[in-house]
Protein backbone atom coordinates (compact mmCIF):
# COMPACT_ATOMS: atom_id res chain seq x y z
CA UNK A 1 0.00 0.00 0.00
CA UNK A 2 1.40 3.41 -0.97
CA UNK A 3 2.07 6.12 1.58
CA UNK A 4 -0.86 8.17 0.33
CA UNK A 5 -3.28 5.25 0.66
CA UNK A 6 -1.96 4.47 4.15
CA UNK A 7 -2.53 8.06 5.26
CA UNK A 8 -6.01 7.99 3.78
CA UNK A 9 -6.83 4.70 5.54
CA UNK A 10 -5.56 5.93 8.90
CA UNK A 11 -7.38 9.21 8.41
CA UNK A 12 -10.65 7.38 7.77
CA UNK A 13 -10.12 5.23 10.87
CA UNK A 14 -9.39 8.25 13.07
CA UNK A 15 -12.40 10.06 11.65
CA UNK A 16 -14.56 6.98 12.32
CA UNK A 17 -13.39 6.68 15.93
CA UNK A 18 -13.90 10.41 16.54
CA UNK A 19 -17.39 10.29 15.04
CA UNK A 20 -18.26 7.16 17.02
CA UNK A 21 -17.12 8.80 20.26
CA UNK A 22 -19.13 11.94 19.56
CA UNK A 23 -22.29 10.01 18.66
CA UNK A 24 -21.95 7.79 21.72
CA UNK A 25 -21.65 10.88 23.89
CA UNK A 26 -24.74 12.40 22.26
CA UNK A 27 -26.70 9.17 22.57
CA UNK A 28 -25.69 8.23 26.12
CA UNK A 29 -25.14 11.59 27.83
CA UNK A 30 -28.73 11.82 29.07
CA UNK A 31 -28.54 8.38 30.71
CA UNK A 32 -26.77 7.50 33.94
CA UNK A 33 -24.93 4.21 34.43
CA UNK A 34 -27.76 3.04 36.70
CA UNK A 35 -30.30 3.84 33.97
CA UNK A 36 -28.41 1.70 31.46
CA UNK A 37 -27.94 -1.23 33.88
CA UNK A 38 -31.62 -1.09 34.87
CA UNK A 39 -32.71 -1.03 31.23
CA UNK A 40 -30.55 -4.04 30.35
CA UNK A 41 -31.81 -6.00 33.35
CA UNK A 42 -35.40 -5.34 32.26
CA UNK A 43 -34.89 -7.56 29.20
CA UNK A 44 -36.32 -11.05 29.98
CA UNK A 45 -34.06 -14.08 29.67
CA UNK A 46 -36.26 -15.50 26.89
CA UNK A 47 -35.67 -12.44 24.71
CA UNK A 48 -31.93 -12.57 25.43
CA UNK A 49 -31.81 -16.26 24.46
CA UNK A 50 -33.71 -15.65 21.20
CA UNK A 51 -31.44 -12.69 20.39
CA UNK A 52 -28.38 -14.93 20.88
CA UNK A 53 -30.01 -17.60 18.67
CA UNK A 54 -30.64 -15.10 15.84
CA UNK A 55 -27.10 -13.76 16.23
CA UNK A 56 -25.72 -17.31 15.81
CA UNK A 57 -27.86 -17.81 12.69
CA UNK A 58 -26.51 -14.55 11.26
CA UNK A 59 -22.89 -15.63 11.74
CA UNK A 60 -23.79 -18.98 10.17
CA UNK A 61 -25.04 -17.09 7.11
CA UNK A 62 -21.81 -15.07 7.07
CA UNK A 63 -19.83 -18.29 6.66
CA UNK A 64 -21.96 -18.84 3.57
CA UNK A 65 -20.63 -15.54 2.16
CA UNK A 66 -17.12 -17.03 2.16
CA UNK A 67 -18.41 -20.38 0.91
CA UNK A 68 -19.87 -18.79 -2.24
CA UNK A 69 -16.60 -16.87 -2.75
CA UNK A 70 -14.44 -19.99 -2.36
CA UNK A 71 -16.63 -21.98 -4.72
CA UNK A 72 -16.56 -19.15 -7.28
CA UNK A 73 -12.76 -19.53 -7.56
CA UNK A 74 -13.31 -23.27 -8.08
CA UNK A 75 -11.63 -24.32 -4.86
CA UNK A 76 -12.77 -27.49 -3.04
CA UNK A 77 -11.65 -26.20 0.38
CA UNK A 78 -13.66 -27.95 3.13
CA UNK A 79 -16.51 -26.00 4.73
CA UNK A 80 -15.14 -26.22 8.33
CA UNK A 81 -12.00 -24.36 7.21
CA UNK A 82 -14.09 -21.78 5.36
CA UNK A 83 -16.28 -21.30 8.45
CA UNK A 84 -13.20 -20.84 10.66
CA UNK A 85 -11.71 -18.17 8.37
CA UNK A 86 -15.04 -16.40 8.03
CA UNK A 87 -15.91 -16.32 11.73
CA UNK A 88 -12.48 -15.18 12.90
CA UNK A 89 -12.13 -12.51 10.20
CA UNK A 90 -15.63 -11.08 10.69
CA UNK A 91 -15.72 -11.55 14.46
CA UNK A 92 -12.63 -9.34 14.64
CA UNK A 93 -13.18 -7.17 11.55
CA UNK A 94 -16.71 -5.99 12.32
CA UNK A 95 -15.55 -4.52 15.63
CA UNK A 96 -12.11 -3.27 14.58
CA UNK A 97 -13.61 -1.19 11.77
CA UNK A 98 -13.04 -0.92 8.00
CA UNK A 99 -14.27 -4.52 7.88
CA UNK A 100 -13.43 -4.90 4.19
CA UNK A 101 -9.74 -4.22 4.83
CA UNK A 102 -9.28 -5.77 8.27
CA UNK A 103 -11.29 -8.94 7.63
CA UNK A 104 -9.66 -9.24 4.19
CA UNK A 105 -6.18 -9.26 5.72
CA UNK A 106 -7.23 -11.94 8.24
CA UNK A 107 -8.86 -14.02 5.51
CA UNK A 108 -5.65 -13.86 3.50
CA UNK A 109 -3.72 -15.27 6.46
CA UNK A 110 -5.98 -18.34 6.56
CA UNK A 111 -6.61 -18.97 2.88
CA UNK A 112 -2.97 -18.45 1.86
CA UNK A 113 -1.95 -21.05 4.47
CA UNK A 114 -4.41 -23.48 2.85
CA UNK A 115 -2.95 -22.96 -0.63
CA UNK A 116 -5.14 -20.26 -2.21
CA UNK A 117 -3.42 -17.52 -4.22
CA UNK A 118 -3.54 -13.80 -3.52
CA UNK A 119 -5.83 -13.34 -6.53
CA UNK A 120 -8.22 -16.01 -5.24
CA UNK A 121 -8.41 -14.38 -1.78
CA UNK A 122 -9.06 -10.98 -3.38
CA UNK A 123 -11.94 -12.51 -5.36
CA UNK A 124 -13.37 -14.15 -2.22
CA UNK A 125 -13.27 -10.85 -0.31
CA UNK A 126 -14.86 -9.04 -3.27
CA UNK A 127 -17.63 -11.64 -3.66
CA UNK A 128 -18.34 -11.45 0.08
CA UNK A 129 -18.66 -7.68 -0.18
CA UNK A 130 -21.06 -8.07 -3.12
CA UNK A 131 -23.13 -10.51 -1.04
CA UNK A 132 -23.36 -7.91 1.75
CA UNK A 133 -24.55 -5.32 -0.76
CA UNK A 134 -27.09 -7.69 -2.31
CA UNK A 135 -28.51 -8.70 1.07
CA UNK A 136 -28.83 -5.09 2.21
CA UNK A 137 -30.39 -4.12 -1.13
CA UNK A 138 -32.97 -6.94 -1.14
CA UNK A 139 -34.01 -6.54 2.51
CA UNK A 140 -34.07 -2.76 2.02
CA UNK A 141 -36.23 -3.21 -1.08
CA UNK A 142 -38.64 -5.46 0.81
CA UNK A 143 -39.08 -3.07 3.75
CA UNK A 144 -39.54 -0.11 1.39
CA UNK A 145 -42.26 -1.99 -0.52
CA UNK A 146 -43.99 -3.47 2.56
CA UNK A 147 -43.39 -0.64 5.07
CA UNK A 148 -42.91 2.58 3.07
CA UNK A 149 -44.25 4.97 5.71
CA UNK A 150 -41.32 4.63 8.17
CA UNK A 151 -38.70 4.96 5.43
CA UNK A 152 -40.59 7.88 3.87
CA UNK A 153 -40.56 9.74 7.18
CA UNK A 154 -36.79 9.35 7.55
CA UNK A 155 -35.86 10.09 3.92
CA UNK A 156 -38.55 12.80 3.62
CA UNK A 157 -39.97 11.26 0.47
CA UNK A 158 -43.49 10.26 -0.46
CA UNK A 159 -44.60 6.66 0.22
CA UNK A 160 -45.07 6.01 -3.51
CA UNK A 161 -41.53 7.20 -4.27
CA UNK A 162 -40.21 4.91 -1.52
CA UNK A 163 -42.14 1.97 -2.99
CA UNK A 164 -40.62 2.68 -6.41
CA UNK A 165 -37.14 2.73 -4.86
CA UNK A 166 -37.89 -0.60 -3.21
CA UNK A 167 -39.03 -2.14 -6.50
CA UNK A 168 -35.86 -0.79 -8.15
CA UNK A 169 -33.69 -2.47 -5.49
CA UNK A 170 -35.43 -5.81 -6.05
CA UNK A 171 -35.17 -5.41 -9.83
CA UNK A 172 -31.42 -4.81 -9.54
CA UNK A 173 -31.06 -8.07 -7.60
CA UNK A 174 -32.99 -9.94 -10.32
CA UNK A 175 -30.78 -8.29 -12.98
CA UNK A 176 -27.66 -9.51 -11.12
CA UNK A 177 -28.88 -13.11 -11.31
CA UNK A 178 -29.79 -12.69 -14.99
CA UNK A 179 -26.33 -11.34 -15.79
CA UNK A 180 -24.74 -14.20 -13.87
CA UNK A 181 -26.83 -16.68 -15.90
CA UNK A 182 -26.20 -15.29 -19.37
CA UNK A 183 -23.03 -13.16 -19.25
CA UNK A 184 -19.97 -15.38 -19.25
CA UNK A 185 -17.43 -12.74 -20.25
CA UNK A 186 -16.09 -10.41 -17.53
CA UNK A 187 -18.32 -7.43 -16.76
CA UNK A 188 -16.43 -4.18 -17.37
CA UNK A 189 -17.39 -0.96 -15.58
CA UNK A 190 -15.14 2.11 -16.03
CA UNK A 191 -11.94 0.14 -16.39
CA UNK A 192 -12.87 -2.41 -13.71
CA UNK A 193 -13.26 -6.02 -14.79
CA UNK A 194 -15.46 -8.36 -12.73
CA UNK A 195 -16.14 -12.03 -13.46
CA UNK A 196 -19.67 -12.86 -12.30
CA UNK A 197 -20.28 -16.16 -10.49
CA UNK A 198 -22.56 -18.85 -11.88
CA UNK A 199 -26.32 -18.24 -11.57
CA UNK A 200 -26.61 -20.85 -8.81
CA UNK A 201 -24.01 -19.05 -6.70
CA UNK A 202 -25.59 -15.66 -7.48
CA UNK A 203 -28.93 -16.90 -6.12
CA UNK A 204 -27.12 -18.29 -3.06
CA UNK A 205 -25.53 -14.85 -2.52
CA UNK A 206 -28.92 -13.13 -2.53
CA UNK A 207 -30.54 -15.71 -0.24
CA UNK A 208 -27.68 -15.79 2.26
CA UNK A 209 -27.22 -12.00 2.23
CA UNK A 210 -30.92 -11.33 2.81
CA UNK A 211 -31.22 -14.00 5.51
CA UNK A 212 -28.18 -12.58 7.31
CA UNK A 213 -29.67 -9.09 7.60
CA UNK A 214 -33.10 -10.56 8.44
CA UNK A 215 -31.61 -12.53 11.34
CA UNK A 216 -29.75 -9.47 12.66
CA UNK A 217 -32.99 -7.47 12.47
CA UNK A 218 -34.78 -10.25 14.36
CA UNK A 219 -32.03 -10.13 17.02
CA UNK A 220 -32.60 -6.40 17.45
CA UNK A 221 -36.39 -6.84 17.46
CA UNK A 222 -36.29 -9.44 20.26
CA UNK A 223 -34.32 -7.09 22.51
CA UNK A 224 -36.63 -4.15 21.83
CA UNK A 225 -39.75 -6.27 22.40
CA UNK A 226 -38.79 -6.56 26.06
CA UNK A 227 -40.39 -3.17 26.67
CA UNK A 228 -42.37 -2.36 23.50
CA UNK A 229 -44.41 -4.21 20.88
CA UNK A 230 -42.07 -3.83 17.90
CA UNK A 231 -42.84 -5.33 14.49
CA UNK A 232 -40.17 -7.11 12.49
CA UNK A 233 -40.64 -4.74 9.53
CA UNK A 234 -40.00 -1.68 11.68
CA UNK A 235 -36.91 -3.24 13.28
CA UNK A 236 -35.64 -4.25 9.83
CA UNK A 237 -36.26 -0.70 8.52
CA UNK A 238 -34.25 0.77 11.40
CA UNK A 239 -31.42 -1.72 10.93
CA UNK A 240 -31.20 -1.21 7.14
CA UNK A 241 -31.08 2.58 7.54
CA UNK A 242 -28.50 2.17 10.33
CA UNK A 243 -26.28 0.08 8.04
CA UNK A 244 -26.52 2.65 5.26
CA UNK A 245 -25.40 5.29 7.77
CA UNK A 246 -22.50 3.03 8.84
CA UNK A 247 -21.35 2.62 5.23
CA UNK A 248 -21.37 6.40 4.78
CA UNK A 249 -19.52 7.23 8.02
CA UNK A 250 -17.08 4.24 8.23
CA UNK A 251 -17.44 4.25 12.04
CA UNK A 252 -15.73 1.13 13.51
CA UNK A 253 -18.39 -1.51 14.05
CA UNK A 254 -20.98 1.23 13.47
CA UNK A 255 -20.29 2.30 17.05
CA UNK A 256 -22.60 5.17 17.94
CA UNK A 257 -23.94 5.47 14.36
CA UNK A 258 -26.15 2.38 14.58
CA UNK A 259 -27.47 3.31 18.02
CA UNK A 260 -28.30 6.90 17.09
CA UNK A 261 -29.93 5.89 13.78
CA UNK A 262 -32.06 3.17 15.37
CA UNK A 263 -33.14 5.57 18.15
CA UNK A 264 -34.03 8.15 15.51
CA UNK A 265 -36.18 5.66 13.57
CA UNK A 266 -37.73 3.81 16.53
CA UNK A 267 -37.96 6.60 19.10
CA UNK A 268 -38.63 5.40 22.64
CA UNK A 269 -39.38 1.91 21.32
CA UNK A 270 -35.61 1.39 21.17
CA UNK A 271 -34.62 1.45 24.83
CA UNK A 272 -31.02 2.15 25.74
CA UNK A 273 -30.82 -1.30 27.34
CA UNK A 274 -31.89 -3.01 24.09
CA UNK A 275 -29.24 -1.11 22.10
CA UNK A 276 -26.48 -1.86 24.62
CA UNK A 277 -27.49 -5.55 24.78
CA UNK A 278 -27.51 -5.72 20.96
CA UNK A 279 -24.00 -4.24 20.81
CA UNK A 280 -22.74 -6.82 23.33
CA UNK A 281 -24.48 -9.80 21.71
CA UNK A 282 -23.72 -9.09 18.07
CA UNK A 283 -20.30 -7.44 18.28
CA UNK A 284 -18.54 -8.01 21.60
CA UNK A 285 -19.37 -11.69 22.25
CA UNK A 286 -18.17 -12.79 18.76
CA UNK A 287 -15.07 -10.60 19.24
CA UNK A 288 -14.17 -12.28 22.55
CA UNK A 289 -14.69 -15.73 20.99
CA UNK A 290 -12.83 -14.96 17.75
CA UNK A 291 -9.76 -13.46 19.48
CA UNK A 292 -8.58 -16.62 21.30
CA UNK A 293 -9.54 -18.77 18.29
CA UNK A 294 -7.33 -16.53 16.12
CA UNK A 295 -4.41 -16.85 18.54
CA UNK A 296 -4.76 -20.65 18.69
CA UNK A 297 -4.99 -20.83 14.88
CA UNK A 298 -1.88 -18.68 14.51
CA UNK A 299 0.05 -20.95 16.89
CA UNK A 300 -1.12 -24.00 14.93
CA UNK A 301 -0.01 -22.40 11.65
CA UNK A 302 3.46 -21.67 13.06
CA UNK A 303 3.87 -25.24 14.33
CA UNK A 304 2.77 -26.65 10.96
CA UNK A 305 5.22 -24.35 9.15
CA UNK A 306 8.13 -25.44 11.36
CA UNK A 307 7.31 -29.11 10.72
CA UNK A 308 7.15 -28.45 7.00
CA UNK A 309 10.50 -26.65 7.07
CA UNK A 310 12.10 -29.58 8.93
CA UNK A 311 10.65 -32.16 6.56
CA UNK A 312 11.86 -30.24 3.50
CA UNK A 313 15.46 -30.04 4.86
CA UNK A 314 18.23 -32.61 4.27
CA UNK A 315 17.47 -36.21 5.35
CA UNK A 316 18.30 -37.00 8.92
CA UNK A 317 21.78 -38.57 9.43
CA UNK A 318 23.14 -37.19 6.18
CA UNK A 319 26.47 -35.45 6.66
CA UNK A 320 26.75 -32.01 5.19
CA UNK A 321 29.67 -31.98 2.72
CA UNK A 322 31.65 -28.78 2.45
CA UNK A 323 33.30 -28.39 -0.94
CA UNK A 324 37.09 -28.25 -0.90
CA UNK A 325 38.70 -24.91 -1.58
CA UNK A 326 41.72 -25.06 -3.86
CA UNK A 327 44.48 -22.70 -2.77
CA UNK A 328 46.22 -20.78 -5.50
CA UNK A 329 49.78 -21.87 -6.21
CA UNK A 330 52.57 -19.49 -5.30
72-76, 153-157, 229-233: least confidently modelled range: 153-157
Is residue 70 one of the residues assigned to a domain? yes
Q: Rounded CA gap, 59 and 83, in Å?
A: 9
Whether the predicted model's global pTM rises above the 0.75 cut:
yes
Q: What is the mean pLDDT of residues 135-142?
A: 93
Beta bridge partners of 188: 193
Three-state DSSP state, 115: coil
Task: Report whether 220 contacts 235 (CB < 8 A).
Answer: yes
Domain with 150, as residue range(s), is 40-299
Is residue 131 one of the residues assigned to a domain? yes
Is residue 98 one of the residues assigned to a domain? yes
Beta bridge partners of 193: 188
Is residue 63 one of the residues assigned to a domain? yes
Is residue 74 one of the residues assigned to a domain? yes
Q: Where are the beta strands (DSSP E) in 46-100?
A: none
pLDDT tens across 8-29, in order? 555 655 655 565 565 555 555 6
pLDDT tier at 194, thresholds 50, 70, 90: confident
Number of H helices, E strands in the chain: 13, 2
Q: How far apart are the first and last CA of the chain?
A: 56
The number of domains in the chain is: 1
Burial of 148 (0-12, 13-18, 19+ CB in 10 A): buried
Nearest partner of 50 among 285, 269, 295, 216, judged by Cα: 216
Percentage, residues of the chain above pLDDT 70: 78
Amino acid sequence: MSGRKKRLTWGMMLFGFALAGYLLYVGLSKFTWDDIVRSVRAIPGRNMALALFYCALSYLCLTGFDWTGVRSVKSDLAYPRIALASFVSLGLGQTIGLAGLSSGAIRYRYYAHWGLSTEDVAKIVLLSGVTVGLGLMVLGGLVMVLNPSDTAGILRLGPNVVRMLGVLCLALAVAYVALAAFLRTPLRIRGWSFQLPRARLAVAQIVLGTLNFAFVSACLMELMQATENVSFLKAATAFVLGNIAILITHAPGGLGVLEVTVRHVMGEQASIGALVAFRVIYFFIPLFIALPVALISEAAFRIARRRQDRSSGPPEGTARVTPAVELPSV
